[in-house]
A = this chain, B = another copy of it.
Amino acid sequence: MSEEWTGPGGTLGLVRWIGLAQRKAAEDWIRTRGLSHEQGFVLGYLVQNPGSIQRDIAQVSRTAPASVSSLLQGLERRELIERRTENGDERRKRVYATPAGAELVAGFADAVAAVDETILEPLTADERAALDALLLKITAKLPQPTRP
């Protein structure tokens, strides 16, 4: 769900609109795996960032540390992740996706790429380049989505 109920008015209203289409596709894909949106995000993040600690996961997923705790408990119960402490620091728990966990979300990136291609289909190569340049100019000034 999203905040586009003001209607797709204005340039960034269009961005919201496109984002909705992307989001819907991604959510549907994840739900077929029996995962919530957040669980899917975290599991995918762990595949690409093995050994992250929960504090970092909370940051990138924009949820409270307590929520990450519960969320990981759910994933651990299903044996999609493992947690263990390393290097003699008993505070930090390193989190890893299990093979089963990695397998469950494998193909997500490809699915997203395929949807993106469909969305971009109306544009020529030149137009895509122009769009890319404009968006880059915007995102250059945007705060980084925290990514250690």
Closest chain B residue to A39 by CB distance?
Answer: B1
A3 interface residue per 8 A CB criterion: yes
A141 partner residues in chain B, CB cutoff 8 A:
121-122
Given the interface contacts A22-B15, A41-B2, does A10 sit within 8 Å of B113 by beta carbon? yes
A136 cross-chain contacts in B, Cβ below 8 A: 14
* Number of copies of chain A assembled together: 2
What does the 1/0 interface line of A29-70 toward B look like (CB < 8 Å)? 010000001101100110010000000000011110000000
Instruction: Please state if B63 and A1 are interface contacts (CB–CB under 8 Å).
Output: yes
Q: In the assembled complex, how far is the CB of residue A74 from the closest CB belonging to chain B, in whole angstroms?
A: 15
What is the number of residues of chain A that contact chain B, defined by CB distance less than 8 Å? Answer: 64
- Contact status A145-B17, CB under 8 Å: yes
| Chain A 63-106 interface residues, beta-carbon cutoff 8 Å to B | 63
A residues contacting B by CB (< 8 A) are 1-8, 10-24, 26-27, 30, 37-38, 40-41, 44-45, 48, 60-63, 108-109, 112-113, 116, 119-123, 127-128, 130-132, 134-143, 145, 147
What 9 A-B pairs have minimum CB-CB distances, sorted nearest first?
Answer: A19-B19, A14-B135, A3-B26, A12-B116, A6-B109, A131-B134, A5-B45, A5-B44, A11-B132
